[in-house]
Structure 1
């Protein structure tokens, strides 16, 4: 039986239309971003930096909340760091959960707001110290508004923005400089400042417990090794820096236990928690060491990666 010419023409036209539709779908269909090993690795480094920022933001949120509550929120601006640190903490947690490996404008904006608020807080706290009788004196440094909390919020914002830059920039640069070196210097400077505050408060406490010497011994060594590794690379120095940073991270968690024990030694112990938590020692302070140590480890990972990449070129 011979085919009807009209039927053959219809079949040919239908096949042509199907081929055209398939070609258009392949050309214009949305494609998921490729999960290359390099992008996935940079995403993991970004999430580690987000974790660092989260620990610092949490420390600021709780510490500032307690201190400003003790100050009865006499200045309305005292509410601002609580809201900003909570927003930065939320952004950090979202960054930790985000495994897609791309930066987000909203997170970046919140981190920038945290950095600006921390910088402004440093100015406010510095003014609070200088306006007291005696100005810049040991007594005012001991009991006036602490500079550590706004500095920690500033660092949380900077490290969070660093996480977004690492995710978004295949060359892993910040302001044109290698991201590992920039973040390493920031982590070292942050550790130095945190050590200075811990040393000041532990000096006020007369170092009654031998464990009070640990925060002024281990983190400075880790910060020094990290800085040295950035400018004089070597396997032995890098391993020593990693060990020092890991010990510093553990010290941050252990410090919470030490401070909880210190609270229990106040009159009434934990039964009188509502007063003794305000009197200290501050429970939220030690995790700052952990956050900065994690940032230092992430920076070392970036330095190692860039070193291997340059050696292959």
Structure 2
């Protein structure tokens, strides 16, 4: 139950990041397609479900939360399709220009990750209290660790593309493309290796990655402040500057990784 509620918090962190980020990005697009309101609705529902799950101490899955998390996962897949279509219909199609300045390909995946983590938290609750937790017959710590490791690598790809667009003009811009891949590798090794092994380096690296998300928000806020007009011109700079709500995606995934690590250590299967 402790790990399930940790996953709820991780899913909620991702949902909050998506909610604010998609609101800003789709406002910039003037909501010209009515479907652009969908991620705001699903992210809000995912956030509400995660808050409810964090406070829920019952050892059973909740059908409403399950439906919300499944909807969030589906929204991310459909949104990725929309973004690919948006780029493909522009001159040059998959050119650097379109990848940099058109609908971000990796952004919708964040709401899918929120749905995935929430769905996994509900599967954890379905386990009998006196048996090692499993998901689809696989030890829960292993499957959550593997899925979170893949999620971290996907988030790095989006961050790397946008920081490449910014020419890495600040050395700190290298951190989101160097720290999370190491966290993903360490967590993946934990998910595939011996579960009873104590892994302090992995734990501390995941904690540092969680802090990176908050630090990234501060860096992006400073970037907005350095734009012409600074925060006095927030209506334009908040939309055109570095996305302030995006970095906490790393925090959410790192929290999920810590939950997986705790499961591996508390319920060894070898």
Q: What residue in structure 1 maps to residue 12 of structure 2?
A: 54
Q: Is the 8 A contact 2:195 2:264 kept in 1?
A: no
Which structure has the greater CA radius of gyration? 1
Q: Is the 8 A contact 2:69 2:114 kept in 1?
A: yes
C-alpha deviations, 1:50-82, integer Å up to 9, x for none? 010001101111111111111011111111111
- For the residues of structure 2 that align with 1:173 and 1:136, how far apart are their CA atoms? 41
Match of 1:259 among 188, 207, 220: 220
Q: Please report the TM-score for the alignment, with normalisation by the length of structure 1.
A: 0.82
1:143 aligns with 2:95: no
Q: Can you give the 5+ residue segments of structure 1 that lack an aligned partner in the other structure?
A: 1-42
What is the aligned-residue RMSD (CA, Å)? 1.5
Q: Is the 8 A contact 2:196 2:265 kept in 1?
A: no
- For the residues of structure 2 that align with 1:236 and 1:277, how far apart are their CA atoms? 45
Q: What residue in structure 1 maps to residue 168 of structure 2?
A: 207
- For the residues of structure 2 that align with 1:285 and 1:66, how far apart are their CA atoms? 11
Match of 2:237 among 276, 292, 300: 276
Q: What residue in structure 2 maps to residue 297 of structure 1?
A: 258
Q: CA deviation at 1:292?
A: 0.2
1:216 aligns with 2:177: yes
C-alpha deviations, 1:90-143, integer Å up to 9, x for none? 000111111233321111111111111111111111111222111212111111
Q: What residue in structure 2 maps to residue 183 of structure 1?
A: 144
Match of 2:54 among 81, 85, 96: 96
Q: CA deviation at 1:202?
A: 0.7
Q: SS of the residue aligned with 2:238?
A: helix
- For the residues of structure 2 that align with 1:301 and 1:227, how far apart are their CA atoms? 14
Q: Please report the TM-score for the alignment, with normalisation by the length of structure 2.
A: 0.95
Q: Can you give the 5+ residue segments of structure 2 that lack an aligned partner in the other structure?
A: none
**Count, aligned residues:** 267
C-alpha deviations, 1:187-223, integer Å up to 9, x for none? 1111111111111111111111111111111111111
- For the residues of structure 2 that align with 1:173 and 1:267, how far apart are their CA atoms? 53
Match of 1:158 among 113, 116, 132: 116
Q: CA deviation at 1:234?
A: 7.2
Between 1 and 2, higher relative CO (CA 8 Å, sep ≥ 6) is seen in 2
Q: Is the 8 A contact 1:58 1:85 kept in 2?
A: yes
Q: What residue in structure 1 maps to residue 186 of structure 2?
A: 225
- For the residues of structure 2 that align with 1:272 and 1:205, how far apart are their CA atoms? 21
Q: What residue in structure 1 maps to residue 157 of structure 2?
A: 196
Q: CA deviation at 1:236?
A: 7.3
Q: Which has the higher helix share?
A: 1
Point out the more displaced range, 261-270 or 296-305.
296-305
